[in-house]
Structure 1
Amino acid sequence: MKNIILVVDIETTGFLEEGGKIVEIGIVKLDLDSGEIYPAYNSLIKEPGFDDSHRKEPFGWIFRNSDLTFDEVMDAPTLESQREMIQFLFDKYPATAYNKDFDFSFLRDREFSINDLPCPMIILTDIMKLPSKKASIHFKWPSVKESWNYLFSEKLYSETHRGLTDATFEAKIVYRLYQIGQYELANPIQPSVKKLIPYNGRNGWGFKTIKGEIEINAIYNWVTPFIDGIAKVGIGDKIIYINEEAKEVESHPENLDIEKQSDFTVKDRYICDKNGERIAYLFYGHSTSFYCNRLCVFDQYGTYGFLDEKGEVAIELKYEYAESFSEELAAVKYGGKWGYINTGGQMVIPCSFNSAENFKNGLAKIDGNNFINKKGQIVAHSKLDWSEGLLCVDENWRYGYIGKNGKLVIPCKFDYAKSFSEGLAAVNKDSHWGFIDKHGKMIVELKYGVVHDFKEGFAGVRKEDWGFINRNGELLVDCIFNFVASFHEGLAAVCIKEGEKFKWGFIDINGEITIPCIYDDVISSFTDGIARVRYNNNENYINRKGEFIISIDYPSVCEIDKGLIPVRNDDNHWAFFDKTGRELTPFIFSIDEVHSIINGVNSYMDLLNNKDLIKEILKKHY
């Protein structure tokens, strides 16, 4: 599956706190695997209260600094008429914006729910270190133009202050950060129906309940989350499937998306057999694994092909781009168009598409939202991806679900529908949302204005305000919150309005507020017992008691990376802490040294155990 994120840019008449109005929203999809950027949404917006006063100070800046006119906005669609389309994108993909706080504060104030990613402007602030004119701030936030000139010195850039154009350039900035290893994504864990979640113990991986009780001991090298009661795990040199009683089972559900992998692997630029013996050295750039006995590689000219398990060229390096094999076919780009080859290198579906993804369940997505079978015939249309063995499709603006090879499972009879999550899918009729099971049976009646997907057995729902229901549709948490996020590790972020400000905290599965609503924002929900929050304009981590992991006196607490939390003091020196708040090193590093150290270790244990590294660091500074 492609690694897709959204990059958002909004244009407004002024600041949120001054009553500014959104006048344009542009959203692009960024494929972090290829760098390709696709328009996802672009529209002018007319909000309630937008009138002639927004031409004048303190408003109207956008009309004086772009080609957008007041009259164009007066004729624009309302935000409410566009809400479902925009929220659909936010439900499907994580998102960022160059100045995330500015853009997302408007969108969240308008009750959009966003799974947000790191802010590129904040990342570049630490990288560029532009001097600030304010004595209280070490470095200024770089403008989009300053960041562009820093990352793309050979290309000129002029900001247009139009949503889609600016979002496109800002997506290029994000992709360049991703290419140089400065933009990382967190992969959220999808829990099991029984609410078992993976945990990393002292001796390996296992599973625990959302209350933290160990259900399956940590004896595995690695695990995947449970789907339909089955998980894939590695133990010793074997890969097996277990049920929720930790018993090995022979089969696995189709929706685990198992690829036909080889016994051969790639390690330290060598092809190795299942015993780790080196077979051949790789002179090419390469993907990480063999699929269908073929390894996707590329040469110094950026030309792609495939090797066999002996390291010999099996399919000539002649393609402009290629994906790994999936279901015996690989997507390749030739002559500017995409098609599919088989493991023998024969072109079985001609290169005629503008975009192409891997085959899954007998179908592949091409040209945005069309799905073809292995004969190259278009058999379905969908804006979504496979989930739990089913794909939500639309036919004549009605939505239903298909299964493997395009077989219709649930008729196209809904006004709108989402992907399945934990065995249930949100569907809409006559502007009301409910949930169906995989047989199309209505489990939760159509009565809500907005819903989230089920996570850990609960789904956020909104009538006038937000609450939570269980899988039977019973309202377990009253609809009393302004916003809610999904449950993670038994806690869900919730938001209430205090005066003119929104404050965030956390509730447990009983609806009890276990962490008070005192935070300005929740940046990421709980993972491994900690959550990232914003408090008094500073970001930090809290534990399940709501206690700050790192002292709030420090001006900068960066995101955790390989178990390390970089922290900056008032003297602009950096140290490393672990997720318990333990100080691992003195405050002696520069930001460049922080990046070098993180890139040079696999985990915080490496930092603790690598005495030579520590000696070299201390020798340099003392």
Structure 2
Amino acid sequence: MTQERIILGFLLLLITSCSKIENNSTKLYERIMGQNSWGYNDGKGNVVIPLGKYKFLNPIDEKGMIYANKGTKYGYIDIHENILVPFEYDDLTVFSQELSCAKKNGKFGFINRKGKIVIPIQFENETFFRKNGLALVKKNDLYGFIDKKGKEIIPLLYQNANQVILDSLVTVKKQGKWAFFDSFGKQKTDFIYDEIAATSFNYKDTFWKNGLILVRKNRQIGYLDKNLKEVVAFGKYETGDRFNSNRIAIVSKNQKYGIIDEFGKEVVKTEYDTIEHPEESYRESEIFLAKKGNYLILLDKNGKKIYDKIKDFSFDHASLGNKTQKIYHIQDLNGKYGAINTKGELVIPVMYDEFRDFRSNNNAIVKHKGKFGLVDLNNKITYPIDNEEIEQNSRDLAFYIIKKNGKVGIINKELKTMINFDYQDLQPCFYDQINKFIAKQNGLYGVIDRLGGIIIPFQYTEMSNWVEYGPGSNFHFVTKDKKQGLITKEGKTVIPVIYDSLFYDSDKIIILSKNGKYGVVTIQNKQIIPFAYEKIYLEPSLFSKKKETEFYVLKNGKYSIINDKNEVIKSDLPKNEVENKFSYYYN
């Protein structure tokens, strides 16, 4: 997939985008998406290009052209729907170096902005022109490079080829070996490399702008500079990474790891068991994590040691006043927690049994000598460390649920009491985690609001919050006097709390038992199977492949299969076979 195609794929995710076209006056147009179609409105919301005509429209480019998909064909239009490139192509790319790669009858070529074919449609790959003025093309399963006039700068004679966005160098492969060429077609090295690695640099590819080029020859790695001179000799290191944007790379020899700079100098000696970039927010971080023996070492993006001899660490952000800064939680070899800043300065002493994330907040939950409290980035105690538990709501960090002296209450982000410590338990309702709470008082559950007002009275010995395969987040399964039922989040009865057991499969199938007999109702409490059976089993709808709902029922000691009309489909089923079949689901 080419870079242009990646960009286009990203743009497809956007529901709307705004574009400006410069002519006599500047107009703002808004790209809109409908059901399987796209259009444009003007800045006042008036329709300029209606929905329903085009399967896809790209944002307006710098020359006022819009990449468009109509039916099964692709072309270019302007904002007034004038056709600039006819809809006769199976695919097109956005313009790169003023040319668009066009696909027709399974082959590729190039058109200009007037829709004229300037490089014949003859190639086997989608491609585009890089900054060096070349495009990598394939024909008859062989690769080479052409310029914008279609001239072969590097003949199409090779097994494979590669180019990058930033550099003038390209690489080609012959008889299993790679060589470097420049953008004028001059061969710069012999075909001697088994592998030549490109590097990511600010989302653009490069061979050498990060520092050195990683190559492999005769099963050994080495590094070359931009002039293709050998800087790190082949065989000096057993393994090596590409150079990163800070112009350093991880290497290893004798199964020990270190870091080198662009001059081949070891800025971190090869003395560690491992060195890696830890993951931060689902991506590789700039810092390094090294391991030596039974401890870890943090190194900054330049390889300088931040902190030594730790058991574990994690990333976090903390606020102090109006400023937010990155910090690292660290755990020492004795299991105690603290925090350092990016310079390696200790900001939270390594003294806590637990230390939860600030998450860009002013306070963090800590545990010390078996009790919980809150501290700020200066390790100032902002809420006493004398509580049995503290939990922070996960949605917007708006409050803390605190248990103290056997009672539970809530304080807000400003550390003021929000709900008094009058409850045995409190948990935010799944359907409104900011304003409503399931509360327990005197052994019974109900629902209250953030001011302590009662929404559902305290009358249930059990109350569900959210069930993955339940009836949704607007309901509670409840138990009262050992009987079960279902209520809404407002406390309205859906299934009366009179049943000995309740099994929810779907809104259309709820299996209940009462006085030793089983039946089935809907979520509207409409009976579909009478309470006439000693057992009712059902394959959960998630796993069942049958079109018709089948219930396995026990009556007078015999199992049968019935449908949702209570009609017998099959009778006299072996008892052991049925009960073994459903033991996993119902026990």
User: Same-fold call, TM > 0.5?
Assistant: no
Which structure carries more helix by proportion? Answer: 1
> Could you state the TM-score of these two structures normalised by the residue count of structure 1?
0.43
Between structure 1 and structure 2, the one with the greater Rg is: 2
> Could you state the TM-score of these two structures normalised by the residue count of structure 2?
0.45
Which gives a bigger RCO, structure 1 or 2 (Cα 8 Å, sep 6+)? 1
